[in-house]
Each structure stands twice: as C-alpha cells, then as structure tokens.
Amino acid sequence: MQLIRGAIRTYAWGSRSAIAEFTGRPAPTAHPEAELWLGAHPGDPAHLEGPHGETSLLDVISADPQAQLGSAVRDRFGDVLPFLVKVLAADEPLSLQAHPSAEQAVEGYRREDRGGVGLNSPIRNYRDRSHKPELLVALSDFEALVGFRPAARTVDLLRALAVPGLDPFIGLLADQSDASGLRALFTTWITAPQPDLDVLIPAVLEGAVSYIRSGAKEFAPETKAVLELGERYPGDAGVLAALLLNRISLKPGEGIFLPAGNLHSYLQGMAMEVMANSDNVLRGGLTPKHVDVPELLRVLDFTPVVDARVHTHRDGIELVYDTPTAEYAACVLTLDGKYLGHQVDAPSHHGGPQVLVCTEGSVVVRCTSDEIHIERGGAAWVAADDGPISVEATRAARLFRVTVGL
C-alpha cells in the first residue's frame, strides 16, 4: 500500500484553483488544471511514492501483475488495471462528446491503425481498444448536459423559444419516433452549412434571451446553458445540439452514469470520475480539438435518457454507486458519528486492487502489513496482496474507493 501522486492534465476548460486547493498546493496555478489521473493508463500513469523515490504505477503493475492485480483480475482483464480514476475540475464547458462501445473501440482502433493514423496524432479518435463506461460523482455543485431528452419535451422547449426559424425542425422532430426524430434533427444541425448556422444560432440565442426576460421558469436552466455556450462558441453547431440534451444539476455525492453512445458535456464543477481504462473520445463540437462528426454519428445512441442519475445503496459505512460495469465498482466510505475514533473494517468485495481518494477530512488506512495516513486530496494504491483494509478517523471523513467490478 502506497501513496499516489496523480498525473495532472492541463486543458483550457480546467481550473487554476480547484485541484490545487483539493491537493493542498498553492493556487492559482500557472495553467488551468482540468484532470488529475490516478491510474495506470499508458497516456499518463500516476506514480507511487516509496522510500527510494517515485515509480510509475504502470511499471509497478508490469513488474509484478500477480501481486498488484491478483489472479481473479488477471484472468478477466489480463495484466492491466481495468479502470481509471480521475479528479475533474471544469471552470468552462467541456466538448460535446460520446464514448464508443467495446466493439466499436476495437474496430475503430484497428481501422485507424490500418489507415496509418499515429497514436499521438491530433486527428486520432481511438487511442486504445477499450470502451469507456463512465461514472461521475460530484464533489461540488455540478452542472452537465447528459443524454438526449425525450422528443416531446424537446418540442415543448423549442416552441417556448418562439423562433420562427425553428418551425421546420420542430416538425421534423414531432413527426417521427423519439430515436428516429432525434437522430434526424441532430444530424441535420451538426452537418448544417456554416451560413445556415450563422443565421439560426443568433436567432435561437435571441429567443433564449426573450424567454429568460419573460420570467418563465420551466426551461430557464436549458436556455441559460444555451446562452452560455453560444457566447463561448459562436457559430458552433454544438450550441444547437445542446438544445436536445438533458440539463442536470448535481449536489455533492450525487452521481450520473454514462454508457456507450451517451452524448454529453460537463458544464461546470468538480467531481470524481471513474471509467474503464480508456481515453477514447468522439467529439461533436464546443471545442477547438478534432471533431469527427461521421464517427460520432456511428457511435451515438439516440434513445432518450429519462434519468441519468445513478442509484445508490448502503452497506455499513459504504455508499455504493450501482453501475453495470465489470471494470470497476465505486463507493464512498463515510466515517462520522459512532464510527469516529474506531478502526472499522471496510467491506471486502474480492481480492483485487483498490484506489482510495480522501475527499474530506483525513483517514488512517490499515492493510495486512502496513498503514498509511491520507489527507484530503490525497490518494493511495492498495495492491491485491495488501487487502483487505480497515479505516479510522478522528473527525468526519470521506474516502472515495474504487475496486474492480464483481
């Protein structure tokens, strides 16, 4: 069991303070920090802190996969850690994006290899062969666009904007089944010629301004989000696409699950992310990065999402996030009340590895042969050979825990 130093990713949409303050470093930082990777992805592995310096977690696993991963995990996933944990901090909206299924990832990776697209090429879509089912758990108030809204509800929104230029598109959506209508409208907008967008988008933004000024409440969050996106990305087809997505607000501890094909954009906030060990992203707009609309259309699922929020259940000190994933399982261990000042055994799922992130307070973690102290913002790696674990805190604390799925 060792402390982890995560790998920091700097993107323009990140924060100059959130991750730094979370990890106890000076703020503001020189560059916006968007993600803190706590895993063994070859693109940016975390490092384990030892008595003789730091070692890449990827190298540690490669050197002794049996001790680090255990037999059960190796039998299912080979000699690689199947999940990736991140701390995410968004001061600005992320790109409009979706992730491929397992089959699509393998096929796309092979296709780009055959086409001679280098792994580090800016136009590469598939950087590995894995799908990327994703869980996000809010650490602060968090805003997101997640999944296509049922068509009838979107028709109501478009009509509420009272923009004549939207009338043909309202008919296109209303005259078909949900998935077919959403596919037709999204495809029409995302592939529209720029001169058409330069007329329609400003009209939609004017409609949003009028709607908000009217004092109407029903679609206030949706119209405000479109105005913000329109200001940041003028003329971008993704501004129109955002009208088709569910607007979700999360409180700390609440989560959403994004399966393959779910179109989404995180707008603002700080959160824990857990995903299969992948960096495959198909973008559709709201970004200066590579956008591949035909490939995005290949992977999108246009089935409406009624509620993307993930269900939870209690197991002693654990709040478990119910996700249908083999690669990972996630929970929060809460130490307060009667649990303070006592060593408490964490529920033991199996003999695989664990990543622990202290999101509040400080925790002493004990395993079969060692103990470690994790402060807020700190993280630890528990190898398969080190489990099971127990935890202890003298003041209220929370420990975000990720293991391999059962």
Residue positions annotated with a catalytic role: 283
- Candidates 94, 97, 100, 98; CA nearest to 112 is 100
- Any idea of the CA torsion for 80, 81, 83, 87, to the nearest 10 degrees? -120
Cα separation, 108 vs 185, in Å, equals 25
- Candidates 115, 134, 133, 135; CA nearest to 124 is 115
Cα separation, 382 vs 216, in Å, equals 52
Determine the straight-line distance between the first and last CA of the chain, rounded to whole angstroms: 22
Q: Is the CA virtual torsion 402, 404, 405, 406 positive or negative? A: negative
Q: What DSSP designation does 242 have?
A: G
Q: Which residues contact 404 (CB under 8 A, 6 or more apart)?
A: 72, 73, 76, 77, 82, 83, 326, 327, 328, 329, 350, 352, 353
Q: 283 with 96: CB under 8 angstroms?
A: yes
288-320 burial by CB neighbour count: b if 16+ within 10 A, else e? eeebeeebbbbbbbbebbeebebebeeeebbbb
Half-sphere exposure of 310 (CA within 13 A, CB side): 28
Residue type, 207: G
Q: 94 with 13: CB under 8 angstroms?
A: yes
**How would you classify the pairing of strands 83-90 and 255-258?**
unpaired
Q: 89 with 259: CB under 8 angstroms?
A: no
Q: 28 with 16: CB under 8 angstroms?
A: yes
Q: Which residues contact 110 (CB under 8 A, 6 or more apart)?
A: none
Q: 46 with 40: CB under 8 angstroms?
A: yes
Residue type, 184: A
